[in-house]
Amino acid sequence: MPQDALLRLEAVSKCFPGGVVGLDSVDLDIEHGEFLSLLGPSGCGKTTNLRVMAGFETPTTGRVVLAGRDITSLRPFDRPVNTVFQDYALFPHMNVAENVGFGLSLRRVPAAEQKKQVAAALDMVGLGDKIRARVAELSGGQRQRVALARAIVCKPRILLLDEPLSALDAHLREYMQMELKRLQSSLGMTFVMVTHDQTEALSISDRIVVMNKGRIEQIASPAALYDRPATRFVAGFIGTMNLLDARFVGRDGALLRYLSGDLPLELSADANALATDGQMHTIGIRPEDLVANPQAGAATAPAKINSIVFHGRALRMHASTAGGAALVIDAPRQAMQPAFDVGDIVHVSQRPGASCVILAA
């Protein structure tokens, strides 16, 4: 393994008293200057993972290495890492400037320099005019930004954010997502953000770590995660995906051919997938990569429409094949000529040029 990752978790496990497994042998490399999101359902260990990085939890086994230095047993105050807490954790007995200057005052930064940096940090988050305000006078969004300023003013090697936007309303949240992204790239700082909102993770992350039951399911860029989910869990968690049991029927150059019931599927094998004839795999295909044709064709399978749901630019059809497999198909609304109805038989095919993916259990 190369030694250039900024933060590396090596086989980190965390068992809580009572036998709850918070983290299960997590390996993770965080690169300089990236925006990494930890994504997963409630209770999957995202917060625990972040707290191990911050130093609030000591791993039961495994190592935490920051820029080549083992920091596994360092206390939080000895780590060049800062956290934005989910409840912001602003000190109610200090005003905004004192909150933001707290970290600097502990580092023995001269008072004049402190003032300058506090003002700069507050300007950066757009709260330059609130420097003398009391915490109780701030709105939720403003508190969030003070918490952000308080952490970045310490110039951490890594900024950890635990669901920083979850307490904000939808409008403000979208705005703050862009703000976070802008801050991160203008500072060139490494951000690690916990979220359970896949849209949020997909829209602002450089890479996403999908976690489930204390384990890492997949680490990938948003596009790769969407296009090539590695496991059933990721496929089900990110967007909507049809999970189909399919039989391998042959190879055609770089294309692998499968048959799911009567529905022929093909996927381009970039890896040297060693499939043998007759082998069963779970294949994932997005609803928009399926086409509902009015007429039967060479590579179509009949399916009966059970329901049609309006989905903005597409109509989402739930259909079932003769073999009983449930399909979700997104049809662009203009292309619905002629219109289908519930109960109709359509002939489903894979959209030409679209690929599907093999999913691990």
Partner 1 sequence: MRAAGHRFAAGRNWLGAYVAAYLVFLYLPVSLIPLFSFNDSIQAAFPLQGFTFAWYGTLVGNSALSGALSNSIVVGVAAAAGATLCGTTVAYMEIYGRSPLAQAVSMISRLPFLIPGVIVGISLLIFVNLLGFGPSRLAIVLGHILVALPTSVLVMRGRFASIPRSMSEAALDLGASDWVTFRRVMLPLSLPAVGSAFMLAFLMSFDEFIVAFFLASTEPTLPLYIWSQLRFPKSLPTVMALGTMILTVSFVIAGLAELLRRRGLSQMTSRPAPAGPFKP
Ligand X SMILES: Nc1ncnc2c1ncn2[C@@H]1O[C@H](COP(=O)(O)OP(=O)(O)OP(=O)(O)O)[C@@H](O)[C@H]1O
Closest CA to 328 of 316, 336, 315: 316
Count the site residues for Mg ion by CB under 5 A.
Answer: 1
Out of ligand X, Mg ion, partner 1, none, which partner does residue 44 contact, by CB within 5 to 8 A per kind? ligand X
Number of residues that bind ligand X (CB under 6 A): 12
Q: Of these, 33, 43, 62, 239, which contacts ligand X (CB under 6 A)?
A: 43
The residue from 47, 177, 212, 300 that contacts Mg ion (CB under 5 A) is 47
Query: Residue 193 or 319: which CB sits closer to Mg ion?
Result: 193
Minimum CB–partner distance for residue 234 and partner 1 (Å): 31
**Min CB(134)–partner 1 separation in Å:** 10
Binding of ligand X by 284 (CB under 6 A): no
For ligand X, which residue of 4, 11, 20, 70 counts as binding (CB under 6 A)? 20
3-state secondary structure of 270: coil
Query: Which of ligand X, Mg ion, partner 1, none does residue 154 bind (CB under 5 to 8 Å by kind)?
Result: partner 1
Residues 6+ apart with CB under 8 A from 122: 96, 97, 100, 128, 130, 131, 146, 149
Nearest distance, CB of residue 83 and partner 1, angstroms: 5
Q: Per CB under 8 A, does 269 bind partner 1?
A: no
> Other C-beta atoms within 10 Å of 81: how many?
24
Among 86, 203, 231, 282, the residue binding partner 1 under the rule CB under 8 A is 86
**Which DSSP helix (H) or strand (E) runs through 17?**
none
- What's the CA dihedral at 234, 236, 238, 243 to 10 degrees? 100
> Can residue 177 be called a binding residue for Mg ion (CB under 5 A)?
no
Question: 25: closest CA among 278, 264, 214?
Answer: 214
The DSSP code for 81 is E
Query: What is the SS3 assignment for 78?
Result: helix
Q: Which is nearer to ligand X, 36 or 305 (CB)?
A: 36
Query: According to the binding rule CB under 8 A, does residue 137 interact with partner 1?
Result: yes
For residues 97 and 130, what is the distance between their CA atoms, to the nearest angstrom? 8
Backbone angles phi, psi at 328, to 5 degrees: -115, 125
- Asked if residues 346 and 297 have their Cβ atoms less than 8 Å apart, the reply is no
Dist CA 240 CA 46 (whole Å): 22
* Closest among 140, 120, 116 to 128, alpha carbons compared: 120
Out of 4, 11, 16, 323, point to the residue binding ligand X (CB under 6 A).
16
**Segment near partner 1 (CB under 8 A); pick from 2-10, 81-89, 201-209, 300-308:** 81-89
Residues in contact with partner 1 by CB under 8 A are 54-56, 75-77, 81-83, 85-87, 89-93, 102-103, 106-107, 126, 136-141, 143, 150-151, 154, 169, 171-172, 175
Residues in contact with ligand X by CB under 6 A are 16, 20, 22, 40, 42-48, 196
